[in-house]
């Protein structure tokens, strides 16, 4: 089986199944039906995704001198890639497509590409100039966005709960980072290695948004996907004085609490690790633990989080074992901090302390 055949069966979605299940249970008939259709579509290849992830890492394509971004319109079908809207150099003007969802997809793909190139000298998804491809208007009110191993796919959302997936920079960054992880660490999408896979996407999705906004670690909100929730949902969620979001790296478990989505189940400490078999061993739930570790490391280090904490995490990726546990990854980030900053024990200590605060040792 070729890497492209394997990747074609991959689907790493931004809306986790536990949220869709809550909407099915709590929503009005139209909301429940839409969530059920989305969940069934996602579930149809969820097991295949886990199986494919144990195959060898994909091979890089030949080096491409000019990275292109191509946008398709699926016209509310589920037949990828759809009708071509535009294909243009990623660096340059956004082509005139006359479609806000398509324009946003192009701009956010470009911002993600520019982030990895400027900060880590990583050129596109595979570091060899892999073209960026996206389809907008996937499905009829499809409540999700995903990376399938070859391209980004954006639904429009039903409009009651979820909206505008292509317009969310941290969502686009999250999904494309799944591709970067596939070409570096190749983390198996199951249990702790799968939760690390999800966490790494949250980390860099947040950092891409922070760089775009010019925010330091202390200024950032550390929310993931707040802007894909509609104003109706935001109005319901009054538990905390912050917007509702899909996840909150600062305080896992408090991203949302409302009658439609239920209560955020993410733990922020190993004492509360969820040993569920659901969602490939809780990959979207237990990712809260390494998410909080990164937040703690970034805020302890201060300044722009992508410059030191982000560099440590990114530099660790190619060294990660495909079945890495939280403790193994923590130990690797501690060693990487020592390698990158040999004369700065305070940086090494900040990384070790961050993992210790979430109950993960840095000596695996």
Active-site residue list: 175, 284
In degrees rounded to 5, what are phi and psi of residue 35? -65, -40
Is residue 213 packed enough to be buried (19+ CB in 10 Å), middle (13-18) or exposed (0-12)?
exposed
SS3 102: helix
How far is residue 278's CA from residue 97's CA, in Å, rounded to a whole number? Answer: 40
Cβ atoms of residues 152 and 138 within 8 Å: no
Question: Helix or strand or coil: residue 301?
Answer: helix
Could you tell me the two tokens for 153? 């796919």
* Token code pair at residue 235: 């109005």
Output the six-digit token pair for 102. Answer: 């398509």
Dig out the tokens for 47 from the structure. 């097991």
CA distance 240 to 259: 15
How far apart (Å, rounded) are the C-alpha atoms in residues 73 and 85? 6
Q: Pairing between strand 83-89 and 223-224?
A: unpaired
Is residue 224 helix, strand or coil? strand
Give how far the C-alpha of residue 28 lies from the chain's centroid of Cα atoms, to the nearest Å: 28
Supply 229's token pair.
């929730």
CA-CA-CA-CA dihedral for 358, 270, 188, 71, to nearest 10:
-60
- Helices (H), ranges, 44-190: 46-52, 100-120, 169-183
Residue with tokens 């990376």: 147
Give the contacts of 112 (CB within 8 A, at least 6 positions apart). 169, 172, 173, 176, 177, 208
């Amino acid at each position: 089986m070729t890497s492209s055949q394997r990747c074609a069966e991959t689907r790493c979605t931004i809306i986790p199944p536990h949220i869709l299940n809550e909407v099915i249970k709590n929503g009005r008939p139209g909301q429940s039906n839409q969530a059920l259709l989305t969940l069934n579509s996602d579930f149809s290849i969820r097991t295949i995704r886990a199986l494919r992830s144990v195959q060898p890492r994909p091979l890089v394509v030949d080096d491409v001198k000019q990275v292109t971004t191509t946008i398709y319109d699926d016209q509310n079908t589920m037949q990828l890639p759809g009708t071509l809207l535009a294909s243009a150099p990623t660096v340059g003007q956004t082509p005139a497509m006359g479609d806000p969802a398509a324009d946003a997809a192009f701009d956010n793909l470009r911002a993600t590409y520019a982030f990895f190139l400027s900060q880590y000298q990583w050129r596109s998804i595979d570091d060899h100039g892999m073209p960026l491809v996206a389809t907008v208007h996937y499905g009829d009110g499809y409540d999700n966005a995903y990376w399938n191993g070859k391209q980004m796919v954006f639904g429009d959302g039903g409009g009651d709960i979820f909206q505008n997936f292509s317009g969310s920079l941290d969502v686009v960054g999250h999904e494309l980072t799944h591709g970067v992880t596939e070409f570096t660490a190749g983390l198996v999408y199951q249990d702790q290695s799968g939760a690390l896979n999800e966490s790494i996407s949250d980390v860099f999705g947040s950092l891409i948004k922070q760089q775009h906004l010019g925010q330091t670690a202390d200024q950032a909100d550390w929310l993931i996907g707040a802007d894909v929730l509609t104003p109706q949902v935001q109005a319901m969620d009054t538990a905390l004085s912050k917007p509702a979001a899909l996840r909150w790296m600062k305080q896992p478990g408090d991203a949302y609490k409302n009658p439609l989505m239920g209560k955020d189940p993410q733990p922020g400490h190993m004492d509360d690790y969820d040993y569920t078999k659901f969602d490939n061993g809780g990959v979207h739930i237990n990712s809260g633990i390494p998410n909080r570790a990164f937040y703690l490391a970034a805020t302890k280090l201060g300044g722009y989080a992508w410059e030191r904490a982000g560099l440590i995490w990114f530099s660790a990726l190619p060294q990660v074992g495909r079945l890495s546990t939280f403790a193994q990854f923590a130990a690797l980030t501690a060693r990487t901090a020592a390698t990158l900053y040999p004369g700065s024990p305070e940086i090494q200590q900040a990384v070790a302390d961050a993992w210790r605060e979430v109950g993960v040792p840095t000596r695996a």
